[in-house]
Amino acid sequence: MNLHSCTITLSDESTLICKTVEQSLGIIEYHGPSNIESVFIDTTDGKGISSYKNLSLEESIESLMSL
């Protein structure tokens, strides 16, 4: 599985779309847990896209690190 995109919604309702794991983790680290409303991860296996939307922030970080 590879990252297709990571959509991070901040508590001020701003939305950031990241295309790399490094960028996604950097945004999460920069804004911190208290300023992040949600993280939606889309992965691809080259044939289709799978979405992960109801993960905790910790689970989202672990998922990103495993990609």
Rounded distance between C-alpha atoms, residue 27 and residue 8, angstroms: 8
Domain total of the chain: 1
CB 64 within 8 Å of CB 38: no
Per-residue confidence (pLDDT) for residue 60, from 0 to 100: 96
CB-count exposure of residue 55 (10 Å: 0-12, 13-18, 19+): middle
- Average per-residue pLDDT for the chain: 96
pLDDT category, 58, cuts 50, 70, 90? very high
Phi first, then psi: what are they for 2, rounded to 5°?
Answer: -125, 155
- Mean pLDDT over residues 13-37, rounded? 96
SS3 label, residue 62: helix
Give the domain extent around 40. 2-66
